[in-house]
Chain A
Amino acid sequence: MKFKIRPATKEDCKEISRMIMELAVFEKMPDQVKITHEDLERDGFCQNPFFECLVAEVPEEHKSTEGFTVVGYGLYFYNYSTWEGRTVYLEDLYVMPEFRGNGIGKGLLSKVAQVGKKKRCVRLNLSVLDWNAPARDFYIAKGARDLTDSEGWHFIRFDGQNLDNLANEAPED
């Protein structure tokens, strides 16, 4: 199946938003999606965007059963390592189920790697849920290492009231 991978435009944000929700449903956390396509438009297409996105597009004749031609996306941004400098972080990679098996996922991943290479990034990081075996296998086949396994790294988060509490406490000046 022919497909094209290209940088997302502001107009693609509605489609990206749709697919973000599809991926959240798959990850069993759909009620955790709080932002809309308008937030994506504002945050991804401003002066210093907070993320970049690639989309996978198929020709009209291959559109999905609901009529979509944008069938996959890769959302990423740049991180910084104090040891090595610029790195790229792949936040989301998703291909609609009916379009899998055509190399679209591999295409998106490679394109993100290419963008990272152009920006002089030394590595690409991402996270995978421990029960998502197909995803883990996919990345390991591409040469990824599971750092939680090999080095014991854990993701930590402060949010909501806990973030506010942290901002409010600590000794006075």
Chain B
Amino acid sequence: MASFILRKAEPKDVSDILRLIKELAKFEEMEEKVMLSEKELLEDGFGEHPFYHCLVAEVPKEQSSDDYSVIGFAMYYFTYDPWIGKLLYLEDFYVMQDFRGLGIGSRILKVLSETAVKTRCSAMHFIVAENNTKSIEFYKRKGAADLSLEEGWRLFEIEKQELLKMTAK
């Protein structure tokens, strides 16, 4: 029976976090889209004004075949809704394939929800791709609301090229 711990990420974890980010991107067939470096992760997560917070899941070295003990992570940050105030936004949530089915994902979700409640957040938000029906069903079973369906919210993006055009005027 595998044991694991969940803890707050530390600066020494950035290379593992980047490895897991790339693994998840590879699974989504978007590995070449990961532009982030360890240096940026370090500066942005552990500087004076962190842009993100991270939980990591760790197993004892003996249980991991490839010398990796950090086998899952969840990255989140706080956002703001002008109607209800602080929210916890879950950006990425991943457990290595070999370590699934052990309750790590559920435990991560539980710790995040506790964090949200403790820090006075009114809700936890995240996005899911609509073809990821497994995840959507999982979240719906846990009581999540699909705001795109229920309220008609659509996610828009303005990329750097277009931002630069705007700032040049």
User: Which residues does A use to contact B, with CB under 8 Å?
Assistant: 16, 20, 23-24, 29, 32-35, 39-40, 43, 48, 50-51, 75, 77-86, 89, 91-92, 109-110, 113-114, 116-117, 121-131, 136, 139, 142-149, 151-171
Contact = CB atoms under 8 A, between A and B. Distances in A.
Given A79-B91, A164-B117, A127 B155 contact: yes
Contacts of A126: 156, 158
B8 to A, nearest CB: 16
B125 A32 contact: no
Contact of A86 (B21, B51, B146, B164): B51
Nearest to A151: B129
A83 B17 CA distance: 12
B134 interface: no
B152 A130 contact: yes
B12 interface: no
Chain B interface residue bracket vs A: 35 or more
A147 B155 contact: yes
Contacts of A86: 44, 51
Contact of A129 (B51, B149, B153): B153
A145 B166 contact: no
A124 B153 CA distance: 16
B129 to A, nearest CB: 5
Interface in B84-138: 84-86, 89, 91-92, 103, 106-107, 109-110, 113-114, 116-117, 122-131, 136
Interface of B: 21, 24-25, 30, 33-36, 40, 44, 49, 51-52, 75, 77-86, 89, 91-92, 103, 106-107, 109-110, 113-114, 116-117, 122-131, 136, 139, 142-149, 151-167, 169
A166 B82 contact: no
Nearest to B45: A80
The 4 closest A-B CB pairs, nearest first, are A143-B162, A162-B143, A159-B123, A167-B113
A127 B129 contact: no
Given A35-B84, A35-B85, A166-B110, A158 B163 contact: no
B146 A166 contact: no
27 contacts: A16-B82, A34-B84, A39-B85, A43-B80, A78-B51, A78-B77, A79-B77, A80-B51, A91-B82, A109-B166, A123-B163, A127-B153, A130-B153, A142-B158, A144-B156, A145-B158, A153-B130, A154-B147, A155-B155, A156-B147, A157-B124, A158-B125, A158-B142, A159-B124, A169-B106, A170-B107, A171-B107
Nearest to A116: B163
B93 to A, nearest CB: 10
A127 B125 CA distance: 13
